[in-house]
Structure 1
Amino acid sequence: MKKYYFIIIALLLSVTTIPAWAQQERTQSIIQSYLHGWEYSLKAGFSIGGTSPLPLPVEIRSIDGYSPSMAISIEGNTTKWLDAKKIWGLTIGLRLENKSMTTEATVKNYNMKIINTNGGELKGLWTGGVKTKVKNNYLSIPVLANYRISPRWKLVAGPYFSYLLEGNFSGNVYEGHLRTPDATGSRVNFGGESIATYDFSNDLRKFQWGLQLGGEWRAFKHLNVYADLTWGLNDIFQKDFDTITFAMYPIYLNVGFGYWF
C-alpha cells in the first residue's frame, strides 16, 4: 500500500512546486472553472469499521475482541454545481483507501478450511475461537449527489465502485475442535498453544460496490472537515468461494479534512 501513497504524494508535490507563472495560470483557470460551477478538492482521512456478515449468523456465538487498524484514505474529486445558487451538485472522485480490522470470536459449527502445524489442509466445521485479520487496499470511484443546506454545510450521497489492489483476509483458530468433513466426521482437537492458520486472501473479489452517505463542513475559506459512511453491497468474496457460507460486507466510517481550490 505504501507505494501507492508515495505515488499520490509525489503527484501532489509536483502540483505545489510548479513555477510562479504556472501557478498564476492555474489560479486563473480555477477561478474560471468556479465561475462556471466547477469546484476541486483534495481530501485525506482515516477509516474505522469492519467487514461483517449482516445479520450475524447463528454460527458466531459471541464477538470477543475488536481492534480497528490504522486505515488511511487519500482522495481527489471534482464537483459540478447544477444550479446558479450552487445548492445541487454532482461529485466524482478517485480515492485510494485502506479498510482493515482484527476481530476475535467464539463460533460453533463454523465452516472452515485450515492449515495445521504440519502443513496439511483440513476442511470441516470448527467450534472454538477464531481470530481474523482483514487488510484490503482499494482504488475507489465515488459518484455523489450534493445538497448544500447552508453556506458551510452540505450533504452527499450516492454509489461508489472499488477495485481491490491488495487484499488480506487471514487468521487462526484456537482452543477448539474441527469436525471433518462434516458434523458427524472425525474430530481434530486444538488446545493450549496449538493453533492452525487460514488464509482466504486469494478468494477476495476484485470488484466491489456500495453506497456512500456523508456530510461536509467548511471550517475556513479553503479547509473542509468531512465524515462519510461507506456500506458495501456485495460480498467481499468471489461467487465460487464456499468455505465461508455467508456474505461479508465492508462497513466503514471515514473522517478527515479536505482542501478546496
Structure 2
Amino acid sequence: MKKYTFTLIMILIGIGLQAQENRNKTIINAALHGWEYEIKAGINLGGTSPLPFPVEIRSIDGYNPTLSITIEGNMTKWLGAEKKWGIVTGVRLENKGMCTKATVKNYNMEIIGYDGNRLKGNWTGGVRTKVQNSYITIPVLMAYQLSTRTILKAGPYFSYLMDGNFNGHVYEGYLRENNPTGDKINFNNGAIATYDFSSDLRKFQWGVQAGIDWKAFKHLKVHADLNWGLNDIFNKDFKTITFDMYAIYLNVGFGYAF
C-alpha cells in the first residue's frame, strides 16, 4: 500500500512539474512575441459629483469614500522592436462608492413621506447620500514605456453596471411641494425622509483613464489610475436631479506581471 501511495505522489508531482514547465514556456513564448499579462488589485477613492458644483449645494459637511475594491486582469501587446509603445486591454471588476453629507437650498428632490407616498419638490436643509455601484469595466489604453520600471497609460474605458445603489435621506429642513413657492413640509427634531434613485442609474457608462505603473520588483508592480466618467450616471429621462453626475475615482493598488 505504501509503495502504491508513494508512486501516486510521484506521478502527481511529475504532472505538476510538467504543467508548470508548460506554463513557463507559454509565458516565455508570449513575452518573445510582445505580449505581457498581469493581474491587479486595488481600491477606488473618489466620488460621484456634479461638475461644476451647482448653486443648490451650499456646503459639503461630510465625506466617506467607503471600501471600494477592484480586481483586474489585463494584457499588453508591445509594438515594434523597441517595445516603447503598446496597447492594453482587459477586464476589471470594481466597486465605486461614497457617503456624503451636504447642506442644500432649493434642491430638486423626490422623497418618501411619512405615509409612504412620494413627494416631489424643492428641498432646503441636510442631505445624506450613499452610492455603492458595482461594474464590469473594459479599458482600452495606449501604453508608453518611459523606462524599464515606469509605464504611462491613457485611453477610454467602458463600464456595465451590474448592481447599483444611489439612496439616502433628508433631514433638518423643509420641502416646498412641486416648486420653490409650494406648500411647506418641515422635517425637524430628528425627523427624516428617505429617497432612492437606484432604479434610475444608467447601465452603460464610459470615460477616460490615465495612470502610471511602477515596477517595484521583477514581477511586482504598483499603480495609480485616474478614472473620469464622461456621461451622466443617471438615465437620460431621469429629471429629479437637474444636473449631470459623474463618477470620478482614483484607483491605487498593486499587480503581478507574469
Scaled to the shorter chain, the TM-score interval is over 0.9
Determine whether 1:48 maps to 2:45: yes
1:124 counterpart residue number: 121
Kindly provide the amino acid, as one letter, of the partner of residue 255 in structure 2.
G
Gaps of 5+ in 1: 1-17
Q: Secondary structure at the match of 2:161?
A: strand
Structure-to-structure mapping, 1:154-193, within 5 angstroms: 154-193=151-190
2:70 counterpart residue number: 73
Gaps of 5+ in 2: 1-14
1:134 counterpart residue number: 131
Determine whether 1:61 maps to 2:58: yes
Residues 137-157 of structure 1 show CA distances to partners (whole Å, capped at 9, x for unaligned) of: 000000010001110001000
C-alpha distance in 1 between matches for 2:56 and 2:182: 18
Determine whether 1:203 maps to 2:196: no
C-alpha distance in 2 between matches for 1:24 and 1:117: 67
Count of residues in Structure 1 that have an aligned counterpart in Structure 2: 244
Kindly provide the amino acid, as one letter, of the partner of residue 259 in structure 1.
Y
Kindly provide the amino acid, as one letter, of the partner of residue 190 in structure 1.
F
Q: TM-score, normalized by length of structure 2?
A: 0.93
- Runs in 1 of length 4+ with deviation above 2 angstroms? none
Residues 206-260 of structure 1 show CA distances to partners (whole Å, capped at 9, x for unaligned) of: 0000000000000000000100000000000000000000000000000000000
Kindly provide the amino acid, as one letter, of the partner of residue 230 in structure 2.
L
**Cα offset, 1:22, TM superposition:** 1.8
Kindly provide the amino acid, as one letter, of the partner of residue 235 in structure 2.
Q
1:86 counterpart residue number: 83
**Cα offset, 1:185, TM superposition:** 1.0
Q: Please, what is the CA RMSD of the aligned residues? A: 0.9
2:12 counterpart residue number: none
Residues 164-200 of structure 1 show CA distances to partners (whole Å, capped at 9, x for unaligned) of: 0000000000000000111121110000111000000
**Cα offset, 1:84, TM superposition:** 1.3
Kindly provide the amino acid, as one letter, of the partner of residue 194 in structure 1.
A
C-alpha distance in 2 between matches for 1:200 and 1:249: 15
C-alpha distance in 1 between matches for 2:197 and 2:17: 51
Structure-to-structure mapping, 1:214-225, within 5 angstroms: 214-225=211-222
**Cα offset, 1:47, TM superposition:** 1.0
**Cα offset, 1:134, TM superposition:** 0.2
Kindly provide the amino acid, as one letter, of the partner of residue 209 in structure 2.
Q
2:11 counterpart residue number: none
**Cα offset, 1:20, TM superposition:** 2.9
Q: Secondary structure at the match of 1:19?
A: helix
Higher gyration radius (CA): 2
Residues 98-120 of structure 1 show CA distances to partners (whole Å, capped at 9, x for unaligned) of: 00000000000000000022211
1:150 counterpart residue number: 147
Q: TM-score, normalized by length of structure 1?
A: 0.92
2:6 counterpart residue number: none
Kindly provide the amino acid, as one letter, of the partner of residue 57 in structure 1.
P
